[in-house]
């Protein structure tokens, strides 16, 4: 897998570009801003953008949707339960002083357990609600793109509209910590980690399977 990560937008979101080396087809995960920089990377690497995927609908993860879809004709994918958040991205951004071009509507909605293909890459969708109702994580060849569900040493916040602490902890314990320890985790913010490291050292998770 070809993998590039960029920190983008006003809140420092990790945007990931994953591509098949053979076909040069790519997906972009969470283009939260700096969309022209993302596009220049795609062009420099001679990649064809097939999918733009939002792990959830918060404005800091979706700000580049419109530009990338317009430039490439790529499909825009998100979970149905975060459609209202996506539609409200401009008003969300305004609360932080950010002016954002509204996102186009999704091409279609992702479902838990769905497997997408980008060239030889297989992308498995894991519904991980809690931070938002429609939050998802993506598993690609031993790499987990966890959005704002799981971070290095922390977990996603649940005090925003639609957040649910019990659902978040169930998502992490039941859907993510069941993955192999060597699984590399690429969170929506901050440094990469592994499932094993978070199982053993994350203060929100280690030593207990309680649903907080």
Binned at pLDDT 50, 70 and 90, residue 212 comes out as very low
In words, the CATH class of domain 2-201 is alpha beta
- Buried residues in 7-17 as b, exposed as e (16+ CB within 10 A): ebbbbebbbbb
The alpha carbon dihedral of 14, 39, 91, 85 has a sign of: negative
Q: What is the pLDDT of residue 211?
A: 40
- Beta-bridged to residue 122, according to DSSP, are 117
- Whole-model pTM: value is 0.95
Binned at pLDDT 50, 70 and 90, residue 207 comes out as low
135-165 tens-digit pLDDT: 999 999 999 999 999 999 999 999 998 999 9
């Amino acid at each position: 897998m070809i993998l590039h990560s960029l920190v983008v937008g006003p809140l420092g979101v990790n945007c990931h570009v994953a591509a098949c080396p053979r076909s040069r087809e790519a997906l972009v995960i969470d283009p939260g801003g700096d969309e022209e920089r993302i596009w220049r990377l795609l062009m420099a690497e001679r990649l064809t953008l097939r999918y733009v995927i939002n792990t959830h609908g918060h404005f800091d993860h979706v700000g580049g949707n419109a530009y990338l879809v317009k430039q490439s004709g790529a499909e825009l994918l998100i979970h149905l339960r975060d459609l209202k958040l996506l539609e409200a991205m401009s008003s969300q951004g305004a609360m932080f002083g950010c002016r954002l071009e509204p996102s186009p509507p999704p091409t279609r909605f992702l479902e838990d357990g769905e497997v997408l293909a980008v060239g030889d890459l297989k992308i498995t969708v894991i519904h991980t609600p809690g931070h938002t109702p429609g939050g998802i994580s993506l598993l690609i060849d031993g790499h987990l793109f966890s959005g704002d569900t799981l971070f290095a040493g922390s977990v996603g916040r649940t005090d925003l509209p639609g957040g649910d602490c019990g659902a978040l902890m169930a998502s992490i314990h039941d859907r993510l910590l069941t993955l192999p320890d060597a699984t590399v985790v690429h969170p929506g913010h901050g440094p990469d980690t592994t499932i094993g490291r978070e199982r053993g050292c994350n203060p929100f998770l280690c030593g207990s399977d309680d649903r907080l």
